[in-house]
Amino acid sequence: MLFSVMKKFLLEHSKSHDLYQRARQSMPGGMPMLWMVRWAGTFPVFVKEANGVYFTDMDGHSYIDFYLGDTSALTGHSPKATLETIKAQVGKGITFMLPTEDVIWVGEELQRRFGLPYWQFTLTATDANRFAIRMTRHITNRPKILVFNYCYHGTVDEIFIALHEEGIPGPRHGNLGPPINPVETTKVIEFNDIPALETTLSTRDVAGVLA
């Protein structure tokens, strides 16, 4: 049964399959980011275009996109106002390594909306988590970070930890080149295990929880 399903998937997504095989010649795992290969089939579909809440793959199949770029496309793909703004900015330059007046407006607008006085801009969730970890350690003067088993938080070294047999924490399988064993920096429990959460926090050595 499984073989017939996978065969059907391959037949209906032959262009994505061919692109995947081509991509494996220039990128590890055939993907620009390795987590993209974690697909239900033996290879991911390749996107051709998207609009609103739908995207179309290279084989012409249309999908409702419930993920929306991990919230970066929360208002939908290619909204008209966003396209017009991007086109206008591209004509003036897109990267300078220097600030513009627009970033001040963004900071002020974030102040207004959320009531927090200062804002640090990051390019990725990994950067945001790295800053958060450093700040919480500095503020609390505590060394440990707490994460939930196999939750994803980018490529911060502290999060590559998992619960193995009998609930013993250790490095995740496939964690390449860790600077130290993450057990030294991080505690890990199962999500929704309230007693474990209370016990772990009771030691008062946890600076912050990534959730």
Q: Which residues contact 56 (CB under 8 A, 6 or more apart)?
A: 47, 48, 49, 50, 62, 63
The rounded distance, in Å, linking the Cα atoms of 130 and 126 is 6
Domain annotation covers residue 88: no
- Per the structure, the complete domain to which residue 19 belongs is given by 2-71
The rounded distance, in Å, linking the Cα atoms of 180 and 157 is 9
Domain annotation covers residue 6: yes
Domain annotation covers residue 109: no
pLDDT, tens digit (0-9, with 9 covering 90-100), for 189-198: 999 999 999 9
* Cα 180 versus chain centre, distance: 23
pLDDT, tens digit (0-9, with 9 covering 90-100), for 161-183: 999 988 899 999 888 888 999 99
Domain annotation covers residue 104: no
Domain annotation covers residue 14: yes
Total tally of structural domains belonging to the chain: 2
Give the alpha-carbon dihedral of 134, 144, 197, 38, to 10 degrees.
Answer: 70
Domain annotation covers residue 197: yes
CA 136, 142, 148, 153 torsion-angle sign: positive
**pLDDT confidence of residue 15:** 97
Higher pLDDT, 192 or 2: 192
Same structural domain for residues 205 and 131?
yes
Helix axes 2-12, 14-23, angle to 10 degrees: 90
**With 80 as the cut, is the pLDDT of residue 2 above it?**
no
Q: How confident is the model at residue 5 (pLDDT cuts 50, 70, 90)?
A: confident
**Which residue, 40, 55, 71, sits at the end of a domain?**
71
**Which residue, 71, 86, 102, sits at the end of a domain?**
71
Same structural domain for residues 65 and 130?
no
pLDDT, tens digit (0-9, with 9 covering 90-100), for 53-89: 999 999 999 999 998 888 888 889 999 999 999 999 9
Domain annotation covers residue 10: yes
Phi then psi dihedrals of residue 2, to 5 deg: -60, -40
Same structural domain for residues 131 and 58?
no
| The two three-digit tokens of residue 173, written as one number | 């399988």
Q: Specify the CATH number for the domain of residue 23.
A: 3.90.1150.10
Domain annotation covers residue 98: no
pLDDT, tens digit (0-9, with 9 covering 90-100), for 116-146: 999 989 988 899 999 999 999 999 999 999 9
